[in-house]
Homo-oligomer: A and B are copies of this chain.
Amino acid sequence: MSNEVRTPEIAKLGHFGLVSKDLEKSLWFFKEVVGLEETEVKDGVHYLRAWGDFEHHTMTLRQGEESHVDHIAWRTKREEDVDAFAKKLEQAGIEIRWVDEGTEAGQGKAFRFELPSGHTFEIYFKMEKTLASPESRSVLKNQSHKSWARGVSPRRIDHVNILTSLLANDLSDFLQDQLGFNLRECVQTPDGNLVGAWLSVTPLVHDIAISHDPFAASTQEIHHVSYWLDNSQDLLRAADILKENGIFFKGPGKHGISQAMYIYAIDPGSGVRLELFTNGYLIFEPDWEPIVWSIDEMDIGFTYWGDQMDTKPENNPTIKVYDDKKPIRS
Protein backbone atom coordinates (compact mmCIF):
# COMPACT_ATOMS: atom_id res chain seq x y z
CA MET A 1 0.00 0.00 0.00
CA SER A 2 1.10 3.52 -0.70
CA ASN A 3 0.03 6.57 1.21
CA GLU A 4 0.20 8.63 -1.95
CA VAL A 5 -2.89 10.72 -2.58
CA ARG A 6 -4.50 9.48 -5.78
CA THR A 7 -5.18 12.05 -8.47
CA PRO A 8 -8.83 13.08 -8.05
CA GLU A 9 -11.06 12.27 -10.98
CA ILE A 10 -14.35 13.50 -12.44
CA ALA A 11 -16.79 10.66 -13.12
CA LYS A 12 -19.49 12.50 -15.03
CA LEU A 13 -21.53 15.60 -15.67
CA GLY A 14 -24.02 15.83 -12.83
CA HIS A 15 -26.43 18.68 -13.34
CA PHE A 16 -26.83 22.36 -14.09
CA GLY A 17 -28.73 25.04 -12.24
CA LEU A 18 -31.07 27.09 -14.41
CA VAL A 19 -32.44 30.42 -13.18
CA SER A 20 -35.36 31.70 -15.25
CA LYS A 21 -36.91 35.12 -15.27
CA ASP A 22 -40.15 33.34 -16.24
CA LEU A 23 -40.25 30.24 -14.07
CA GLU A 24 -43.78 29.26 -15.03
CA LYS A 25 -42.95 29.19 -18.72
CA SER A 26 -39.69 27.32 -18.14
CA LEU A 27 -41.48 24.76 -15.99
CA TRP A 28 -44.04 24.24 -18.76
CA PHE A 29 -41.25 23.86 -21.30
CA PHE A 30 -39.07 21.44 -19.34
CA LYS A 31 -41.84 19.42 -17.70
CA GLU A 32 -44.62 19.33 -20.29
CA VAL A 33 -42.90 19.86 -23.64
CA VAL A 34 -39.53 18.22 -22.94
CA GLY A 35 -41.07 15.83 -20.44
CA LEU A 36 -38.60 15.90 -17.55
CA GLU A 37 -39.72 14.42 -14.23
CA GLU A 38 -39.85 16.47 -11.03
CA THR A 39 -38.17 14.76 -8.10
CA GLU A 40 -39.17 17.42 -5.61
CA VAL A 41 -39.73 21.15 -5.07
CA LYS A 42 -37.93 22.70 -2.12
CA ASP A 43 -37.45 26.34 -1.19
CA GLY A 44 -38.70 27.41 -4.61
CA VAL A 45 -36.25 25.18 -6.46
CA HIS A 46 -37.62 22.53 -8.80
CA TYR A 47 -35.42 19.43 -9.05
CA LEU A 48 -35.78 17.77 -12.44
CA ARG A 49 -34.34 14.74 -14.19
CA ALA A 50 -34.99 12.63 -17.26
CA TRP A 51 -36.65 9.21 -16.94
CA GLY A 52 -33.33 7.41 -17.29
CA ASP A 53 -31.29 9.63 -14.97
CA PHE A 54 -30.27 7.86 -11.75
CA GLU A 55 -29.32 10.84 -9.58
CA HIS A 56 -31.80 12.96 -7.58
CA HIS A 57 -31.67 15.64 -10.29
CA THR A 58 -29.79 16.59 -13.44
CA MET A 59 -31.25 20.09 -13.54
CA THR A 60 -32.52 22.61 -11.03
CA LEU A 61 -34.92 25.38 -11.98
CA ARG A 62 -35.83 28.49 -10.01
CA GLN A 63 -37.10 32.03 -10.55
CA GLY A 64 -34.61 34.90 -10.82
CA GLU A 65 -34.39 38.45 -12.04
CA GLU A 66 -32.07 37.57 -14.87
CA SER A 67 -32.05 34.24 -16.64
CA HIS A 68 -28.74 32.47 -16.25
CA VAL A 69 -27.13 29.16 -15.33
CA ASP A 70 -25.85 29.45 -11.77
CA HIS A 71 -23.59 26.41 -11.86
CA ILE A 72 -22.57 23.35 -13.83
CA ALA A 73 -21.94 20.43 -11.50
CA TRP A 74 -19.57 17.48 -11.88
CA ARG A 75 -19.61 14.31 -9.88
CA THR A 76 -16.28 12.86 -8.73
CA LYS A 77 -15.28 9.20 -8.90
CA ARG A 78 -14.71 8.86 -5.16
CA GLU A 79 -15.95 10.69 -2.12
CA GLU A 80 -12.45 11.81 -1.17
CA ASP A 81 -11.98 13.36 -4.60
CA VAL A 82 -14.07 16.36 -3.55
CA ASP A 83 -11.50 17.41 -0.95
CA ALA A 84 -8.65 16.47 -3.23
CA PHE A 85 -10.00 18.63 -6.05
CA ALA A 86 -10.51 21.51 -3.60
CA LYS A 87 -6.91 21.22 -2.50
CA LYS A 88 -5.60 20.94 -6.02
CA LEU A 89 -7.54 23.95 -7.27
CA GLU A 90 -6.57 26.10 -4.30
CA GLN A 91 -2.95 25.17 -4.90
CA ALA A 92 -3.44 26.47 -8.43
CA GLY A 93 -4.62 29.77 -6.97
CA ILE A 94 -8.31 29.25 -7.60
CA GLU A 95 -10.86 30.52 -5.10
CA ILE A 96 -13.33 27.89 -3.98
CA ARG A 97 -16.60 28.31 -2.07
CA TRP A 98 -17.98 25.41 -0.04
CA VAL A 99 -21.62 24.45 -0.40
CA ASP A 100 -22.99 22.63 2.64
CA GLU A 101 -24.63 19.23 2.42
CA GLY A 102 -28.34 19.69 1.79
CA THR A 103 -28.07 23.22 0.44
CA GLU A 104 -28.98 21.59 -2.82
CA ALA A 105 -31.61 18.94 -2.10
CA GLY A 106 -30.21 15.40 -2.19
CA GLN A 107 -26.62 16.56 -2.49
CA GLY A 108 -23.71 16.15 -0.08
CA LYS A 109 -20.78 18.44 0.58
CA ALA A 110 -19.69 20.35 -2.53
CA PHE A 111 -17.75 23.39 -3.61
CA ARG A 112 -17.98 25.92 -6.39
CA PHE A 113 -15.33 27.81 -8.30
CA GLU A 114 -14.95 29.77 -11.52
CA LEU A 115 -13.19 28.77 -14.72
CA PRO A 116 -10.70 31.33 -16.05
CA SER A 117 -13.62 32.46 -18.23
CA GLY A 118 -15.90 33.06 -15.25
CA HIS A 119 -18.19 30.05 -15.76
CA THR A 120 -19.17 28.58 -12.38
CA PHE A 121 -18.50 24.87 -11.79
CA GLU A 122 -19.52 22.74 -8.82
CA ILE A 123 -17.75 19.59 -7.61
CA TYR A 124 -19.62 16.98 -5.53
CA PHE A 125 -19.78 13.27 -4.92
CA LYS A 126 -22.71 12.42 -2.67
CA MET A 127 -26.09 12.53 -4.31
CA GLU A 128 -29.28 10.75 -3.44
CA LYS A 129 -30.47 8.16 -5.98
CA THR A 130 -34.10 8.87 -5.50
CA LEU A 131 -36.72 6.32 -6.44
CA ALA A 132 -39.52 7.54 -8.66
CA SER A 133 -42.98 7.66 -7.13
CA PRO A 134 -44.86 4.35 -7.44
CA GLU A 135 -47.09 5.63 -10.30
CA SER A 136 -44.17 7.03 -12.24
CA ARG A 137 -41.71 4.20 -11.53
CA SER A 138 -40.65 1.95 -14.41
CA VAL A 139 -41.45 -1.76 -14.34
CA LEU A 140 -37.76 -2.25 -15.17
CA LYS A 141 -35.47 -2.40 -12.15
CA ASN A 142 -32.67 -0.62 -13.97
CA GLN A 143 -34.73 2.37 -15.10
CA SER A 144 -35.89 5.20 -12.84
CA HIS A 145 -39.18 6.36 -14.39
CA LYS A 146 -41.50 5.01 -17.05
CA SER A 147 -40.34 6.34 -20.41
CA TRP A 148 -42.57 8.26 -22.83
CA ALA A 149 -44.81 9.71 -20.13
CA ARG A 150 -45.03 13.21 -21.61
CA GLY A 151 -43.57 15.25 -24.45
CA VAL A 152 -40.16 14.63 -25.99
CA SER A 153 -39.11 12.30 -23.16
CA PRO A 154 -35.30 12.19 -23.44
CA ARG A 155 -33.46 9.42 -21.61
CA ARG A 156 -30.73 11.31 -19.72
CA ILE A 157 -28.57 14.40 -19.50
CA ASP A 158 -25.72 14.25 -21.99
CA HIS A 159 -23.39 17.27 -21.99
CA VAL A 160 -23.00 21.05 -21.74
CA ASN A 161 -21.50 23.42 -24.28
CA ILE A 162 -20.08 26.68 -22.94
CA LEU A 163 -19.67 29.74 -25.14
CA THR A 164 -16.99 32.35 -24.70
CA SER A 165 -15.45 35.35 -26.40
CA LEU A 166 -12.06 33.95 -25.35
CA LEU A 167 -10.15 31.55 -27.50
CA ALA A 168 -10.72 27.98 -26.31
CA ASN A 169 -7.03 27.19 -25.78
CA ASP A 170 -6.70 28.24 -22.16
CA LEU A 171 -10.04 26.83 -21.12
CA SER A 172 -9.26 23.55 -22.82
CA ASP A 173 -5.91 23.38 -21.05
CA PHE A 174 -7.55 24.21 -17.72
CA LEU A 175 -10.11 21.43 -18.11
CA GLN A 176 -7.37 18.95 -18.98
CA ASP A 177 -4.81 20.02 -16.38
CA GLN A 178 -7.02 20.77 -13.41
CA LEU A 179 -9.96 18.45 -13.95
CA GLY A 180 -8.57 15.60 -16.01
CA PHE A 181 -10.65 16.00 -19.14
CA ASN A 182 -9.39 14.53 -22.42
CA LEU A 183 -9.45 16.56 -25.61
CA ARG A 184 -11.41 14.49 -28.16
CA GLU A 185 -11.98 16.80 -31.13
CA CYS A 186 -11.19 20.45 -31.87
CA VAL A 187 -11.33 23.15 -34.53
CA GLN A 188 -8.01 24.91 -34.91
CA THR A 189 -6.79 27.88 -36.98
CA PRO A 190 -3.44 27.70 -38.78
CA ASP A 191 -2.02 29.75 -35.88
CA GLY A 192 -2.99 27.10 -33.37
CA ASN A 193 -5.97 28.99 -32.00
CA LEU A 194 -8.75 26.73 -30.81
CA VAL A 195 -12.19 28.00 -31.80
CA GLY A 196 -13.95 24.86 -30.62
CA ALA A 197 -12.98 22.04 -28.28
CA TRP A 198 -14.81 18.86 -27.29
CA LEU A 199 -13.62 17.19 -24.08
CA SER A 200 -14.69 14.29 -21.93
CA VAL A 201 -13.84 12.13 -18.94
CA THR A 202 -16.22 9.42 -20.19
CA PRO A 203 -16.31 7.59 -23.55
CA LEU A 204 -18.79 10.20 -24.76
CA VAL A 205 -17.07 12.42 -27.32
CA HIS A 206 -17.86 15.32 -25.03
CA ASP A 207 -19.14 15.83 -21.56
CA ILE A 208 -18.35 19.49 -22.21
CA ALA A 209 -17.60 21.54 -25.31
CA ILE A 210 -16.09 25.00 -25.52
CA SER A 211 -17.37 27.22 -28.32
CA HIS A 212 -15.42 30.32 -29.12
CA ASP A 213 -17.16 33.24 -30.77
CA PRO A 214 -15.34 36.58 -30.89
CA PHE A 215 -18.73 38.30 -30.89
CA ALA A 216 -20.10 36.37 -27.91
CA ALA A 217 -21.78 38.59 -25.32
CA SER A 218 -19.14 37.75 -22.70
CA THR A 219 -16.48 35.25 -21.73
CA GLN A 220 -18.98 33.21 -19.73
CA GLU A 221 -22.02 32.31 -21.81
CA ILE A 222 -23.71 28.96 -22.18
CA HIS A 223 -24.22 27.71 -25.71
CA HIS A 224 -26.49 24.85 -24.77
CA VAL A 225 -27.31 22.04 -22.38
CA SER A 226 -28.06 18.67 -23.91
CA TYR A 227 -30.29 15.67 -23.23
CA TRP A 228 -30.03 12.30 -24.97
CA LEU A 229 -32.60 10.30 -26.96
CA ASP A 230 -32.07 6.71 -28.10
CA ASN A 231 -33.10 6.91 -31.77
CA SER A 232 -33.12 9.32 -34.67
CA GLN A 233 -36.89 8.91 -35.02
CA ASP A 234 -37.24 10.01 -31.39
CA LEU A 235 -35.52 13.24 -32.43
CA LEU A 236 -37.84 13.76 -35.41
CA ARG A 237 -40.82 13.10 -33.16
CA ALA A 238 -39.38 15.81 -30.89
CA ALA A 239 -39.42 18.23 -33.84
CA ASP A 240 -43.16 17.62 -34.28
CA ILE A 241 -43.79 18.18 -30.58
CA LEU A 242 -41.73 21.37 -30.45
CA LYS A 243 -43.50 22.73 -33.52
CA GLU A 244 -46.97 21.96 -32.16
CA ASN A 245 -46.03 23.79 -28.97
CA GLY A 246 -44.70 26.86 -30.75
CA ILE A 247 -41.11 26.36 -29.61
CA PHE A 248 -38.40 27.89 -31.80
CA PHE A 249 -35.73 25.41 -32.88
CA LYS A 250 -33.05 24.72 -35.46
CA GLY A 251 -32.34 21.27 -36.84
CA PRO A 252 -32.64 18.35 -37.17
CA GLY A 253 -29.18 17.89 -38.54
CA LYS A 254 -26.09 15.78 -38.06
CA HIS A 255 -22.78 17.04 -36.71
CA GLY A 256 -19.56 15.86 -38.33
CA ILE A 257 -17.84 16.35 -34.98
CA SER A 258 -19.29 13.65 -32.67
CA GLN A 259 -21.30 12.19 -35.61
CA ALA A 260 -24.41 12.91 -33.56
CA MET A 261 -27.82 14.23 -34.59
CA TYR A 262 -29.18 17.39 -32.99
CA ILE A 263 -32.09 19.73 -32.53
CA TYR A 264 -31.50 23.10 -30.82
CA ALA A 265 -34.60 24.42 -29.07
CA ILE A 266 -34.99 27.60 -27.04
CA ASP A 267 -36.70 27.52 -23.64
CA PRO A 268 -39.26 30.33 -24.00
CA GLY A 269 -38.93 31.07 -20.29
CA SER A 270 -35.21 31.48 -19.73
CA GLY A 271 -33.89 31.65 -23.27
CA VAL A 272 -31.46 28.81 -22.61
CA ARG A 273 -30.76 26.64 -25.62
CA LEU A 274 -31.54 22.95 -25.18
CA GLU A 275 -29.95 20.44 -27.48
CA LEU A 276 -31.77 17.16 -28.10
CA PHE A 277 -29.11 14.68 -29.12
CA THR A 278 -28.80 11.15 -30.45
CA ASN A 279 -26.55 8.66 -32.27
CA GLY A 280 -22.85 9.54 -32.54
CA TYR A 281 -19.82 7.54 -31.52
CA LEU A 282 -18.07 6.52 -28.29
CA ILE A 283 -14.36 6.61 -27.59
CA PHE A 284 -13.01 3.57 -25.80
CA GLU A 285 -9.44 3.92 -27.07
CA PRO A 286 -7.11 4.81 -24.17
CA ASP A 287 -4.63 6.49 -26.53
CA TRP A 288 -7.11 8.60 -28.49
CA GLU A 289 -5.48 11.33 -30.55
CA PRO A 290 -7.70 14.45 -30.75
CA ILE A 291 -9.34 14.89 -34.15
CA VAL A 292 -8.25 18.30 -35.41
CA TRP A 293 -10.54 20.07 -37.88
CA SER A 294 -9.21 23.07 -39.81
CA ILE A 295 -11.25 26.21 -40.39
CA ASP A 296 -11.93 24.94 -43.90
CA GLU A 297 -13.34 21.73 -42.51
CA MET A 298 -15.40 23.49 -39.85
CA ASP A 299 -18.62 23.56 -41.88
CA ILE A 300 -18.76 19.80 -42.28
CA GLY A 301 -17.61 19.49 -38.67
CA PHE A 302 -20.54 21.51 -37.36
CA THR A 303 -23.18 20.42 -39.86
CA TYR A 304 -22.51 17.23 -41.75
CA TRP A 305 -26.02 17.56 -43.17
CA GLY A 306 -29.37 19.08 -42.24
CA ASP A 307 -30.65 22.34 -40.87
CA GLN A 308 -27.81 24.34 -39.44
CA MET A 309 -27.54 26.89 -36.70
CA ASP A 310 -27.47 30.52 -37.68
CA THR A 311 -23.95 31.38 -36.58
CA LYS A 312 -24.38 35.14 -36.37
CA PRO A 313 -24.18 36.11 -32.71
CA GLU A 314 -26.96 38.68 -33.07
CA ASN A 315 -29.26 35.81 -33.99
CA ASN A 316 -28.00 33.74 -31.12
CA PRO A 317 -28.75 35.51 -27.86
CA THR A 318 -27.33 33.47 -25.01
CA ILE A 319 -27.48 33.52 -21.27
CA LYS A 320 -24.53 33.66 -18.90
CA VAL A 321 -23.16 31.16 -16.44
CA TYR A 322 -22.57 32.73 -13.01
CA ASP A 323 -23.21 32.08 -9.37
CA ASP A 324 -25.37 34.78 -7.79
CA LYS A 325 -22.75 35.03 -5.06
CA LYS A 326 -20.07 36.04 -7.57
CA PRO A 327 -19.97 39.16 -9.73
CA ILE A 328 -19.97 38.60 -13.47
CA ARG A 329 -16.44 38.83 -14.69
CA SER A 330 -16.79 40.25 -18.14
Contacts and interface: CB of A to CB of B under 8 A. Distances in A.
Interface in A220-253: 230-234, 236-237, 239-244, 246, 249, 251-253
**Size range of the chain A interface in the assembly:** 35 or more
A281 B143 contact: yes
Nearest to A263: B305
A261 B146 CA distance: 17
B78 A239 contact: no
B148 A237 contact: yes
Contacts of A202: 203, 284
Contacts of A141: 256, 291, 293, 297
What is the copy number of this chain in the assembly? 4
A52 B203 CA distance: 14
A191 interface: no
B279 A77 contact: no
Contacts of A285: 11-12, 54-55, 75, 129
A281 B155 contact: yes
Nearest to A246: B139
Given A155-B281, A281-B52, A285-B11, A244 B139 contact: yes
B234 A305 contact: no
Contacts of A282: 156
A126 to B, nearest CB: 9
A243 B304 contact: yes
Contacts of A12: 284-286
A306 interface: yes
Interface in A250-301: 251-254, 256-259, 261, 279-282, 284-286, 291, 293, 297, 300
Contact of A232 (B155, B236, B306): B236
Interface of A: 2, 4, 11-12, 52, 54-55, 75-78, 125, 129, 138-143, 146-148, 155-156, 185, 202-203, 205, 230-234, 236-237, 239-244, 246, 249, 251-254, 256-259, 261, 279-282, 284-286, 291, 293, 297, 300, 304-308
Given A125-B286, A242-B305, 11 more contacts: A129-B285, A140-B259, A143-B259, A148-B240, A232-B232, A234-B237, A236-B254, A239-B306, A240-B305, A249-B305, A307-B307
